[in-house]
Structure 1
Amino acid sequence: MHLRRMPRVALLDLATPIQRLRRIEAALGEQLNGIRLFVKRDDVMGLGGGGNKLRKLEFLLGDAIAQGADTVITVGGRQSNHARLTAAAAARYGLRCELVLGRVVARDDEDYMESGNIILDDLFGATIHDVAGNVSTLAVAEERAEILRASGRKVYVAPTGGSSSVGCLGYAACASEIAAQSAAQDIHFGHIVVPNGSGGMHAGLSAGFAALGVGAAKVKSFAVLARVEEARRGTLEKINATLGLLESPGVSPDEVNISGAQLGEGYGIPTEAMKKAVRLMARHEGLLLDPVYSGKAFAGLLDDIANGVLKPGQNVLFIMSGGTPALFAYRKEFRPDE
């Protein structure tokens, strides 16, 4: 893979560990049909509370610094994990950071509006722009960038979730990391499961595995933001754009495996399956899923197991994407009697 020539900063200290979920396996029992469950701990990273967006930000900030930027602007929802980690990474590298956050989830309770990620955004020194849910955050970001450029600042604008083709390189690199860990531990993963929000995680992994000759189709994601057809189109586009940067051939639509079964009523809206999945992971493994992304994706994996969708006897890897601060924004969903 042609990654070494890409501008990159260091935000991860080491490869994130892969661990087996033995107590969940015991709880699921015979319905597993010999399937072994593993997690890759992309929630365990040292900067900014950790999370998968740091992989994308290694390349996004590398690109920004290579272009001479002194300011980074990015966009997302009120409880955006990407926004939090952009602010933390910018602080690490001495860049100014502005966040354009839309009210894309229809709720205005104090926990959601003022707790979780939003506290950390402020602690990391970001300037926060709060915009209505029906306003294009990217358009506002571009307008703000022009104002700052007119004052002499050099501004880099990153998209939702950091999921440009440059950002997706972070998960192409992760595919190489998984392949190396798989070889070192003598574990072949037949199936890899992730959430699909802005699509960069799925796209980067699929592009990376395709470039390695392993194939893109071993990655399955569960849509948590867009309806499944929109998610599939966007993810395919990102896979092939990333493969273009890697100077590798593109993939076909039938290699993009996305389910819409866990979206529920929409982005950021809790489901009962998500809450059960979060509690199962917490109470059996002592690990935390988030309520918006990994909670819904793990619920999807559990549903696939229960319905016999997965090939018996294989090793399945679930990538924990972080986002723990968002649990505090959803306090009422997990402690409804308080």
Structure 2
Amino acid sequence: MNLQQQLAQFPRLDFVGPATPLEKLSRLSDYLGREIYIKRDDVTPMAMGGNKLRKLEFLAADALRQGADTLVTAGAIQSNHVRQTAAVAAKLGLHCVALLENPIATQAENYLTNGNRLLLNLFNVEVQMCDALDDPQRQLADVATRLEAQGFRPYVVPVGGSNALGALGYVQCALEIAEQAREVAFGSVVVASGSAGTHAGLAVGLQQLLPECELIGVTVSRTAQQQLPKVEQIQQELSALLHVGEPASIVLWDDYFAPQYGMPNDEGTAAVQLLAQQEGDFA
């Protein structure tokens, strides 16, 4: 059974549609002296796009299979994941509860009320605030227990949609990359590594499909040493779920996230500016 057939065994809702584009960044490639492409998962269809929609195709399908009427998840006030989960809930006619933290401890009104936080109001999300998501699995379970006592049937979507089931979405993405790579010989794939599901899904998928291609995860909230066990745990659980071989070694770079999530350092800001100035893109 090939990887596509293995994926087909899991219930999945079609939110993403056809393969997202693979675009060459011509000016940035010339500037840096190497060919650079971008996989445009920022243009997925729902709620202004983003990578979490791939995970939610599998997670929301599982929620419906279990008869849930509420999606429960957590993240920062400006979380893209929470925004996309809320959009999926609205699309499916489900209630949505979001447990939010303020990771940068700002009192700036724009951060607290605008952007993704404003969109949660538009999606009619029930927002609950907490001091910190220091144990999100337990905290989400507590929210789910309270909802059950109120008569709801909650389904917990983990932070970032990152567990083995959600990571199947990025095995699917690896299939797309492998198909698109028939015209381009990729030496490396670089991905942001935070809640770890995207990274782990690509690690498992690319190991099977493009084993000669190096996968590099760039941390967004932790040192490489702190991030490694998070990626490896989901990678191992996903490998077992798909019955594939020994997981590949994980490569992580942690030069860009400090001092903390949501507050990039000078190197991270310079990278964002370079892409914007060379390509007119904020991905």
- Please provide the CA RMSD for this pair: 1.6
Is the 8 Å Cα contact of residues 168 and 201 (structure 2) preserved in structure 1?
yes
- Which of residues 196, 211, 222 is equivalent to 2:208? 211
Greater Cα shift, 228-237 or 132-141: 132-141
- The Cα shift of 1:195 comes to 0.8
The equivalent residue for 1:171 is 170
* Greater relative contact order (Cα < 8 A, sep 6+): 1
Compared CA separation, residues 52 and 108, structure 1 to 2 (3 A):
same
Separation of aligned partners in 2, 1:229 and 1:18:
31
Separation of aligned partners in 1, 2:150 and 2:43:
39
Separation of aligned partners in 2, 1:225 and 1:275:
15
The answer as to 2:28 corresponding to 1:24 is yes
TM-score relative to the length of structure 2: 0.94
The equivalent residue for 1:261 is 255
Runs of 4+ that moved beyond 4 A: none
- The Cα shift of 1:103 comes to 1.8
Q: List per-residue Cα deviations over 1:17-41 (Å, max 9, x = no partner).
A: 011111112333xxx2xx2111111
The equivalent residue for 1:72 is 71
TM-score relative to the length of structure 1: 0.79
- The Cα shift of 1:104 comes to 2.0
Separation of aligned partners in 2, 1:266 and 1:85:
23
Q: List per-residue Cα deviations over 1:262-286 (Å, max 9, x = no partner).
A: 1221211122222222222222211
Is the 8 Å Cα contact of residues 244 and 250 (structure 1) preserved in structure 2?
no
Identity in percent: 36
The equivalent residue for 1:38 is 37
**What count of residue pairs does the alignment treat as equivalent?**
279
- The Cα shift of 1:228 comes to 1.1
The equivalent residue for 1:139 is 138
Compared CA separation, residues 51 and 38, structure 1 to 2 (3 A):
same
The equivalent residue for 2:14 is 10
- The Cα shift of 1:142 comes to 1.5
- Which of residues 230, 234, 246 is equivalent to 2:242? 246
The answer as to 2:229 corresponding to 1:230 is no
Separation of aligned partners in 1, 2:158 and 2:133:
17
Separation of aligned partners in 2, 1:112 and 1:217:
39
Compared CA separation, residues 26 and 188, structure 1 to 2 (3 A):
closer
The equivalent residue for 1:196 is 193
- The answer for unaligned runs of 5 or more in structure 2 is none
